[in-house]
Amino acid sequence: MFWGAMANASTAMQAMSWDLGTISQNIANVNTTGYKDKQTAFTTMLSEQLSATPTGSGSNGTAVFGVAHYDRYAIDQQGSIQTTNVSTDLAISGKGFFIMAPPDIKTGAPPTTLTLGGKTTSALYTRDGGFVQKADDPANPVKSYFVNSSGDYLMGWMASTTPGAAAAPLAAGSLAPVYIMPTTQLAGSATAQGAIGANIPADVTATSGVQTVTASVVDNHGTAQTLSMTWTRLNATDWTVAATGVTGGGTVNNIATPPSPVYTVTLDGKGNIVNETSSQTGLPMNSFLIDWPGAPQTTTAAASLGSPTFTPNQATSLSVYDGTNALPHTLVMDFEKASNNNWYLRFDTQEGGLSTAAVTDAGGASQTLNLNWKNPTPGAAAGTTTWSVGAAGVTASGNGANTPATSDTASGGCTVTLDNTGQVTAVNGQAVPPASTQVPFIITGNGGSVSQMVDFSTSAPTFASVATAPVPVTFGGNGLLISPSSTTVNVTWANGLSNSINVDLSRLTQYAGTQIQESNISQDGYAPGMLTKTDFNTQGQMIGTYDNGQSHVLFQVPLALFPSDNSLSVVGNNMFAQSQGSGAPVVQAIGVGNSTQLMSGAVESSTVDIGSEFTTMILAQKAYSVNSQVFKIADEMTTTARDLHT
């Protein structure tokens, strides 16, 4: 048994030595992020069954020869979450591992492919979320990747390109390196949905449906007289106009053959006549048959049919964005009271227009002058509108060798008055005719400056227009909306782009008051925006925030889950690899079917318990010391036995 004692003591000292190495490794990594403590366990080695006792019952026992050691990792043990406030730090609270991929072995570039499972796997796994950012090209960086201390890349699912859409849970083979592009621009989105939340004041006076409007006419002696016309409302936009009386003793001939006409006119949201028809053919528009005293029946033309008086509208507006470029516009919503509990909702734009004119610069190159027609002001006469027109830039049209090397610029401006048919009636306050429609603009570039005349009789603008007719809105006696719950507005902007917007009206009310009171007005469009910051949420989604107020999912970081975490192979740098014992990984979105969360600005601490390690170290030291004594005594006894022959 001397040899057994020496063998036992020898293997025990080897095992305790190994255990001490394990303890030192754990203590050395007590502050290592994501480190999982290693444990040394022990097992018996050889054994011998001794002979039976003299009585024949049982045996003298089993002799055990030595002890063996083996390692265990507590990989599935959760470390405490430690806040760092570093935005690139990530910690897993729950099950799973970050999926990592090494750079290209030849070029060092970010990985383009990643194999999960099988013998050719290139994926690595870690709980260490202490990531840093690495530029794809230090000299001309475009992307900034998430890498760990050993240069391996964090892998994730790239988001859908649809603005606002969540990152799609793609197949594992579609994992890509997670990165940030500081110069990322989120494309704008056209407005398709809008909503009005407002109280429409019940105490507003309704527009009278029958009104008297006067106009100046000339009698048979050339004397100015006053013609009275009755406007009778048909609906939100249409009225009938009939002459009903005249001063100076004349009689409106509504009975004679042919009778004086009745006009049907259509008004726009500003009260301008946009369409006019007559019940009588053969007479000039806006003309009436009048019998003057002592004179035959006379056709008399009114200076204007005028327009009815509207109760001041209750107006609000909705900021919307057009298609393609997602440029901002203002959609005005006017509520006009027709009668108790009944209103007309009109949509307008109050937007200017755009026009162009062909010009030639100082170098002889043919160019296009862009003109901006700004918001109108009321004209001097009903049905006219005055606009401020200014140069909005020059577009190079190209003219062979004369095409300028640099962009031309333009300056100049004027005011232009249009009638309700879009015809120019005045330029810079001078009536047309006899005043000229020619206005000079200065074109600068391509070798100098030159004055170019723009003819505003031909430079008609394209104005924004709303195709949607006024919408009747009805409330109940309790102030709640009866109809409609929504309406669709079709608008074409001055730049030629258009929107079809469904406007939710369900939150309108009609309670006491004299002014509209807005509660919530919203829409779903937005302008393009530049990326300002990124953050991870608890589901592992990287959320990009843009300077247009929008946010968009850029990446989603999934986790790999294994049937047996503790059987993973330890490969160093806080990394693990799939082994035969661990089973193949299952890639899963965080929080899907589990309670795992991702903590941003934090890391998972080491699972090493320093107090427990010191206790284990003392036990290992004592065990080593005691076994060394056993070995020493066995050696001495062997020496004594050897010397007995003398």
Contacts of 645 (CB under 8 A, 6+ apart): none
pLDDT at 463: 81
Q: Where are the beta strands (DSSP E) in 279-420?
A: 287-291, 297-301, 314-321, 328-339, 342-348, 353-360, 366-373, 377-378, 385-396, 409-411, 413-418
- Between CA 549 and CA 554 the distance in angstroms is 16
Q: What is the pLDDT of residues 535-584, one digit of tens each?
A: 999 999 999 899 988 888 888 899 999 999 999 998 888 899 999 899 99
pLDDT at 118: 62
pLDDT at 396: 76
Return mean pLDDT, the chain.
83
Question: Average pLDDT in the 183-193 region?
Answer: 87
* Residue reference for tokens 């048959």: 289
Amino acid at 20: L
The angle formed by the CA atoms of residues 401, 405 and 408, to the nearest 5 degrees, is 110
Domain boundaries of the chain, sorted by first residue = 2-74+607-645, 81-184+531-560+591-604, 210-301, 352-463
Q: What is the pLDDT of residues 634-645, one digit of tens each?
A: 777 878 777 786
Residue 4: pLDDT band (50, 70, 90) is low
- Between CA 138 and CA 135 the distance in angstroms is 6
pLDDT at 441: 96
Q: What is the pLDDT of residues 65-91, one digit of tens each?
A: 677 777 778 888 898 899 998 989 999
Of 165-169, 208-212, 599-603, least confident by mean pLDDT is: 165-169
Q: Which of helix, strand or coil describes residue 108?
A: coil
pLDDT at 164: 43
Of 44-48, 125-129, 319-323, least confident by mean pLDDT is: 44-48
Tell me the pairing of strands 179-180 and 210-218.
Answer: unpaired
Query: Among residues of the chain, what percentage have pLDDT more than 90?
Result: 32
Q: CA–CA distance from 556 to each of 113, 137, 155 (Å)?
A: 17, 24, 9
185, 530 contact by CB (below 8 A): yes
- Backbone angles phi and psi of 341, in degrees to 5: 70, 5
Question: Average pLDDT in the 424-449 region?
Answer: 91
Residue 449 has pLDDT above 60, yes or no: yes
DSSP bridge pairs for 530: 185
Query: Among residues of the chain, what percentage have pLDDT more than 70?
Result: 87
pLDDT at 480: 96
Contacts of 439 (CB under 8 A, 6+ apart): 412, 414, 427, 428, 453, 454, 456
Of 277-286, 404-413, 426-435, least confident by mean pLDDT is: 404-413
Q: What is the pLDDT of residues 476-507, one digit of tens each?
A: 999 999 999 999 999 988 888 889 999 999 99
66, 45 contact by CB (below 8 A): yes
pLDDT at 500: 94
- Backbone angles phi and psi of 122, in degrees to 5: -115, 0
pLDDT at 399: 47
Q: Which of helix, strand or coil describes residue 117?
A: coil
Residue 404: pLDDT band (50, 70, 90) is very low
**CA atoms in the 13 A half-sphere facing the CB of 129:** 31
Length of the chain: 646
* Residue reference for tokens 């048979």: 220
Of 20-34, 355-369, 494-508, least confident by mean pLDDT is: 20-34
Residue 194: pLDDT band (50, 70, 90) is very high
- Between CA 540 and CA 547 the distance in angstroms is 23
Eight-state DSSP code of residue 313: P
372, 459 contact by CB (below 8 A): no
More confident residue, 598 or 220: 598
DSSP bridge pairs for 444: 409, 449
Contacts of 405 (CB under 8 A, 6+ apart): 446
Q: What is the pLDDT of residues 515-549, one digit of tens each?
A: 999 999 999 999 888 899 999 999 999 998 999 88
Question: Average pLDDT in the 445-471 region?
Answer: 87
- Between CA 46 and CA 73 the distance in angstroms is 26
Of 99-103, 144-148, 183-187, least confident by mean pLDDT is: 183-187
